[in-house]
């Protein structure tokens, strides 16, 4: 009986350690999933807004209601990626949007980077 109880105790300790690791991984994956959704939301906003300045950094913070109370924000840079050899009015150029999403996981700052492209008319 003593041997069986010892074996059972070792098995329970191993099982509890596995459950604790799985819980940590689930919380980390939840944070990354939230970051991906925030990145999609912010990238869509940046792709639609043609009035944003190029070649400068813009940034902002997310509403805590969207992030589940976690401190999070974004930083973006819009640059000209490609344009015609002889640019003129009403020709298409291609802009690149580099978006970095950040959030705090305890004392550690985590980041997720996303790139997007959009056409624009040269004026």
- pTM here is 0.75
Of the candidates 66, 16, 22, the residue with the CA atom closest to the CA atom of residue 40: 66
pLDDT value, residue 43: 95
**Position 112 confidence tier, pLDDT thresholds 50, 70, 90:** confident
Total number of domains in the chain: 1
Instruction: Read off the pLDDT of each residue in 13-19 and give the average, rounded to a whole number.
Output: 75
pLDDT digits (tens, 9 = 90+) for 32-91: 888 888 999 999 999 999 899 999 999 999 998 888 888 999 999 999 999 888 888 889
Copy the structure tokens of residue 45: 């906003």
Total count of residues recorded for the chain: 123
The alpha helices in 49-107, defined as continuous H runs, are 64-67
Residue 73, burial from CB neighbour count under 10 angstroms (0-12, 13-18, 19+):
middle
List the domain range (segments joined by +) for residue 111: 2-121
Domain CATH number, residue 48:
3.30.1300.30
Residues 6+ apart with CB under 8 A from 90: 121, 122
């Amino acid at each position: 009986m003593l041997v069986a109880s010892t074996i059972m105790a070792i098995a329970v300790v191993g099982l509890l350690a596995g459950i604790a690791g799985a819980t940590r991984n689930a919380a980390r994956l939840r944070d990354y999933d939230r970051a991906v959704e925030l990145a999609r939301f912010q990238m869509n906003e940046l792709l639609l807004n043609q009035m944003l300045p190029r070649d400068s950094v813009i940034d902002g913070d997310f509403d805590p209601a969207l992030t589940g109370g976690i401190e999070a924000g974004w930083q973006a840079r819009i640059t000209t990626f490609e344009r015609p050899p002889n640019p003129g009015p009403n020709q298409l150029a291609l802009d690149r949007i580099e978006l970095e999403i950040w959030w705090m996981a305890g004392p550690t700052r985590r980041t997720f980077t996303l790139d997007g492209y959009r056409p624009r008319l040269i004026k």
